[in-house]
Structure 1
Amino acid sequence: MYTVVILDDEIPALEMLESLVSRHESFRITATFTSPAEALEQLPGLLPDLIFMDVEMPQMNGLDLARRIREVSEHSHIVFTTGHTHYAVRAFDVQAMDFLVKPITPKAVNRVYERLARQQSYQRKPERPAADTIVPVTAPTVTGFGRLEVRDAAGELIQFPTRKAEELFAYLLCHPNREADKWMLADLLWPDMDGERALRSLHTAIYRVKRVMESAGLPMRIMKTSEGYTLHTEAFVYDILQYEQAGPLLMGEHPELEQLDRLFGLYKGPLLHGKPYVWKISLEEKHRLVYEKIGLRLISHAVSSGAYEAAEERFYACLLADPLNEEFYRLLLALFPDMEQRQRIQQLYTRLLEDHS
């Protein structure tokens, strides 16, 4: 079940959307607002999975409001609603998940659900299981492709106490089982602070990260070394780690398609999407290229086997993950040599544009 907040200064529009969303079995509305200021004040306590928000409001423009929402509820997905399509491009500048044009239909609401479900790495759990129902205990999860998320065994999102602690954890996730020099980390995270103060700040951040890991039940350890710290992943696996270990699989001439398909499904978007970490740039490109290679292999195999529907769905998933990658699109076109298949690709590309309009 996904929690939802709705914000619209026009009460009839708000009530209409509230009615549509409440009918969907996978959405639970936790609050509605007509005032952007009130919404900003309440969001830190709500932390919804999804926010439906009008673009044009008299008190504050929805695009500006979205940037402020990122500061107080950064893991919430934003869906803009408006009667004007010219806001679409700017909406995606603030990492909106979707853009719905009024009047909104049940089909559009369901599309939002399907997109959200694809991005989430955890399974829904019933709100109130029966007393005699045994609820299976799942494992905690960490995802780094798309939004950085840490969830406990119950699927609850774990928050970091500070941005620096979150960035430190993200860096260690991206460099698993390798020593990270303490002076390098201190300079990376606190470049304007003198050495000893930065080192003390690093020690505090390490403590905070350990507390987050403990609260989530993550079976990983941060070990202090003579020169720094190492994140030992133990037997725990997560998406970034699996991509780090994908090299041998991709080098083989006949890799296991099931393994490739599993890796393909792990990629939910760019590495640590939305995080302004300079150090992640080269890693983001590295993992994107791995995803591209996996996608090309799967699509090529599907085409050669005549499984065109499977090829189309994987192609569409690739475009959703990186819709502006013209080179990727050109390479994928080369896999479909005849005119009929080129027409099918054009139809898919049109579908992509419609989903972002």
Structure 2
Amino acid sequence: MYTAVILEDEIPALEVLELLVDRHESFTVAATFTNPEEALEQLPGLQPDVIFLDVEMPQMNGLEIARRFRQMSERSHIVFTTGHTHYALKAFDVQALDYIVKPVTPKAIARVYDRLTRQQLSRNAPEQFSSAAAQLPAPARVPTVTGFGRLEVRSADRELIRFPTRKAEELFAYLLCHPNLEADKWKLAELLWPDIDGERALRSLHTAIYRVKRVMEAAGLPMRIMKTAEGYTLDTDAFVYDILHYQHAGQLLTEENPELEQLDLLFGLYKGPLFHGKSYVWKISLEESYRLVYEKLTLRLIGGAVSSGAYEAAEERFYACLLADPLNEELYRQLLALFPAKEQSQRIQRLYTRLLEDHSRQ
């Protein structure tokens, strides 16, 4: 039996989560809190196996609370609950056991139990395995999907998983751009096989779906393709990837004082245009919209760095921007204009020299 503590500032959400956790036969709820300071005060005496923690609370950021929890109780595992996906990568900074996107479901609680059990088995493993386990990186590696720059799917061991056909790869790319939404099967068939009649195109779609599923299984991706009445849905569950982060970036960029950590995360995820090198007709408008998001957050970050006198940091971001979007002349003009006039010539010359040196090494 595992003991759980829940910290959630919204009473209805707390009550639902408490009910779901308590209903699981292997969990018992030791305490619930709506106030972070009260939870931090009582945690040392509770020493729970798992702490369900809301990321966004008015009194204190959930990521900071998690770090303080870690200092007080190394044995307690952190499970984040949130209505947003854009905190997921930051959750790894505190070695979170899981990351649940609301609404919380019994399936998500069962997943937490499975992960706790695996952790417990690892702790109780024979001593000859413990030294090897101690050398594993923390947090544990996870499979990844990237859509900015090259489309890549990699397993937790960083192995590049290849698609058996170009159509299967394009189908996966389309689903990545339309996650958790129903994609109509006839639209997909016409999009991918425009020169084939309806029924034959539909059979080709079924085959491609099967091949995409095999790729996802080979990579160990915790996503599923669900068949619906009219087509298919890519269920991402708690898994996040670069495109999904950018789909939630609009709200962040409209905030007057957004968290710099989140802007940094988005900046680092952009490695180039969407599915660079792929001539998918349907991606044209999406590619432009994501490029504009990248442009806005880049201007905001570099402008903030320059205004605070952090010219070196601003230049590093500028250089990363040159590498990610080398043909965007207008963006270069806007970025360069953020530097004082006396800095511009020196900065651009240094950046040009770095580009030449990096190119010569390739």
Question: Structure 2: 5+ residue runs without aligned partners?
Answer: 1-127
**Quick one: distance in 2 between partners of 1:318 and 1:205?**
35
Structure 1 length normalisation: TM-score?
0.61
Partner of 2:73: none
**Quick one: distance in 2 between partners of 1:256 and 1:179?**
32
Query: What secondary structure does 2:211 align onto?
Result: helix
**Quick one: distance in 2 between partners of 1:312 and 1:346?**
11
Listed one character per residue, the Cα deviations across residues 18-42 of structure 1 (whole Å, up to 9, x for unaligned) are xxxxxxxxxxxxxxxxxxxxxxxxx
Q: How does 1:332-351 map to 2 (within 5 A)?
A: 332-351=335-354
Aligned residues of 1:264 and 1:291 also touching (Cα < 8 A): yes
Aligned residues of 1:180 and 1:228 also touching (Cα < 8 A): yes
Letter of the 1:133 partner, please give it. Answer: A
**Quick one: distance in 2 between partners of 1:203 and 1:159?**
19
Q: How does 1:190-339 map to 2 (within 5 A)?
A: 190-339=193-342
Structure 1 position 166 matched with structure 2 position 165 = no
Structure 1 position 177 matched with structure 2 position 185 = no
Query: What secondary structure does 1:133 align onto?
Result: helix
Aligned residues of 1:138 and 1:153 also touching (Cα < 8 A): yes
Partner of 2:51: none
**Quick one: distance in 1 between partners of 2:292 and 2:345?**
24
Partner of 1:54: none
Structure 1 position 138 matched with structure 2 position 131 = no
Deviation at 1:354, TM superposition (A): 4.5
Listed one character per residue, the Cα deviations across residues 129-161 of structure 1 (whole Å, up to 9, x for unaligned) are x98422354111111111111111111111111
Query: What secondary structure does 1:204 align onto?
Result: helix
**Quick one: distance in 2 between partners of 1:175 and 1:342?**
43
Query: What secondary structure does 2:153 align onto?
Result: strand
Deviation at 1:169, TM superposition (A): 0.4
Deviation at 1:345, TM superposition (A): 2.5
Deviation at 1:241, TM superposition (A): 0.4
Deviation at 1:232, TM superposition (A): 1.2
**Quick one: distance in 1 between partners of 2:356 and 2:186?**
46
Aligned residues of 1:242 and 1:263 also touching (Cα < 8 A): yes
Moved over 3 A (4+): 353-357
**Quick one: distance in 1 between partners of 2:262 and 2:246?**
11
**Quick one: distance in 2 between partners of 1:341 and 1:305?**
17
Listed one character per residue, the Cα deviations across residues 34-69 of structure 1 (whole Å, up to 9, x for unaligned) are xxxxxxxxxxxxxxxxxxxxxxxxxxxxxxxxxxxx
Identical-residue share of aligned pairs (%): 81
Across the aligned residues of Structure 1 and Structure 2, the Cα RMSD in angstroms comes to: 1.6
Q: Which deviates further from its counterpart, 132-141 or 165-174? A: 132-141
Partner of 1:189: 192
**Quick one: distance in 1 between partners of 2:214 and 2:327?**
39
**Quick one: distance in 2 between partners of 1:346 and 1:290?**
27
Query: What secondary structure does 1:157 align onto?
Result: coil
Deviation at 1:321, TM superposition (A): 0.9
Partner of 1:110: none
How many pairs align?
228
Structure 2 length normalisation: TM-score?
0.60
Listed one character per residue, the Cα deviations across residues 156-176 of structure 1 (whole Å, up to 9, x for unaligned) are 111111111111001000111
Question: Structure 1: 5+ residue runs without aligned partners?
Answer: 1-129
Partner of 1:154: 157
**Quick one: distance in 1 between partners of 2:347 and 2:164?**
48
Q: How does 1:95-134 map to 2 (within 5 A)?
A: 132-134=131-133
Query: What secondary structure does 2:132 align onto?
Result: coil
**Quick one: distance in 1 between partners of 2:178 and 2:356?**
36
Query: What secondary structure does 1:180 align onto?
Result: strand
**Quick one: distance in 2 between partners of 1:201 and 1:167?**
13
Deviation at 1:350, TM superposition (A): 3.9
Q: How does 1:42-53 map to 2 (within 5 A)?
A: none
Partner of 1:352: 355
Query: What secondary structure does 2:290 align onto?
Result: helix
